[in-house]
Amino acid sequence: MNLRRDVFQAIADPTRRAILLLVATQSMTAGAIASNFDTARPTVSKHLQILTECELLEQKQDGREIYYHLNPKKMKKVAEFIEPFRKMWDDRFNRLESVMKKYKTK
Amino acid sequence: MEQKTKIHAEDGKQEITITREFDLPVELVFKAYTEPELLEQWMGTKVLKLENKNHGSYAFETKNAEGKVVFKANGVIHETIPDQKITRTFEMENSPFEVQIEFLEFEKLTNDTSKLTIHTIYRSIPLRDQMLQLPFAKGINWAHNRLQDVASKLK
């Protein structure tokens, strides 16, 4: 399976990264996503299609609207998606360690 | 090399565990969590309030270079036992995330080393998964901004 390559291709594009950022906290319709960009609507649709094809995004039908949201299952399989969370805490705790080492020697 | 900070996040659960071993005595790690001026240094946020007592409350705020508030969080310290334990709630303001409960356990390993275990429980499984993905989403945005900065300097 070419998951890694597909994912990297998907996130290589700045607009697609911005789309992932938008839907990270809430599911949104294609229209709502497109309203955040100056890019033409069909271009945004193409990006959504790519992100959906590599399963980073999932579609959910709600009445007449289709909502896009991050696919947590797929995301979890890709270590990179949890690594920034770990890295954020690791950086914080490294700072804690150096702050307290300085404090100790005062 | 073994990672000093570990995240344990089981599939389909609304909780995570973060563990970290420090080259510091347990008293100093606890102090880093309870002295506002120390906490500010490593968390990179301003401490507006920090009452280290049972049923005390706390509030953090971070402003960007332009003075705009970019992060605001608050919570209640349910229980605190010096050098051992802090049980508290945490809520990011103006975000879709609901309040979470955190159990911080401080453990002495040797006189100079210690271990911190943070057990966090979220309102739901999707909320936990979103929280785990947040730094990824922010990270790609920051990376993108940095790329743009570099690119604009090349022009």
Phi, psi for residue A11 in degrees, rounded to 5: -90, 5
41-80 in chain B: CB under 8 A from chain A: 41-44
What ipTM was reported for this prediction? 0.85
Give the per-residue pLDDT at A87: 85
Tell whether A19 and A54 lie within a shared domain.
Answer: yes
Which CA distances in Å does A54 have to A8, A58, A79? 10, 10, 15
Give the pLDDT confidence of B44-89 residue by residue, as tens digits.
899 999 999 999 999 999 998 888 898 899 999 999 999 999 999 9
Using the beta-carbon criterion (under 8 Å), do B22 and A80 form an inter-chain contact?
Answer: no
Give the per-residue pLDDT at A1: 40
Q: Are B41 and B47 in contact (CB under 8 A)?
A: no
Using the beta-carbon criterion (under 8 Å), do B134 and A24 form an inter-chain contact?
Answer: yes
Tell whether A16 and A62 lie within a shared domain.
Answer: yes
Residue B120: pLDDT over 90: yes
Question: What is the DSSP code string of A39-88?
Answer: S-HHHHHHHHHHHHHTTSEEEEEETTEEEEEE-HHHHHHSGGGTHHHHHH
Q: Are A52 and A97 in contact (CB under 8 A)?
A: no
Tell whether A83 and A105 lie within a shared domain.
Answer: yes
Tell whether A79 and A60 lie within a shared domain.
Answer: no
Give the per-residue pLDDT at A4: 45
Give the per-residue pLDDT at A3: 46
Tell whether A66 and A76 lie within a shared domain.
Answer: no
A22 min Cα distance to partner chain B (Å): 8
Domains of chain A: total: 2
Tell whether A81 and A29 lie within a shared domain.
Answer: no
Using the beta-carbon criterion (under 8 Å), do B43 and A99 form an inter-chain contact?
Answer: no
Phi, psi for residue A36 in degrees, rounded to 5: -90, -5
CATH number of A30's domain: 1.10.10.10
Tell whether A62 and A96 lie within a shared domain.
Answer: no
Residues of chain B with C-beta less than 8 angstroms from the C-beta of A86: 3, 5-7
Please write down the HEC assignment for all residues of A28-47.
EEHHHHHCCCCCCHHHHHHH
Residues of chain B with C-beta less than 8 angstroms from the C-beta of A83: 136
Residue range B79-106: mean pLDDT, rounded: 95
Is the model more confident about B1 or about B110? B110
Q: For the beta carbon of residue B111, count every other beta carbon within 10 angstroms.
A: 8
Tell whether A104 and A54 lie within a shared domain.
Answer: no
Using the beta-carbon criterion (under 8 Å), do A101 and B24 form an inter-chain contact?
Answer: yes
Residues of chain A with C-beta less than 8 angstroms from the C-beta of B129: 72, 75-76
Residue A80 structural domain: 72-106
Q: Nearest Cα to B107, choosing from B119, B96, B116, B99? A: B116
Q: For the beta carbon of residue B32, count every other beta carbon within 10 angstroms.
A: 23
Tell whether A106 and A89 lie within a shared domain.
Answer: yes
**Is B82 in CB contact (< 8 Å) with chain A?**
no
Mean pLDDT for each consecutive 10-residue tract of chain A (106 residues)? 56 78 85 89 91 88 91 62 83 95 84
Give the per-residue pLDDT at B38: 95
Tell whether A52 and A79 lie within a shared domain.
Answer: no
Using the beta-carbon criterion (under 8 Å), do B135 and A20 form an inter-chain contact?
Answer: no
Residue whose structure tokens are 């979220």: B122
Residues of chain A with C-beta less than 8 angstroms from the C-beta of B29: 96, 100
Residue B143: pLDDT over 80: no
Q: Nearest Cα to B142, choosing from A42, A71, A91? A: A91
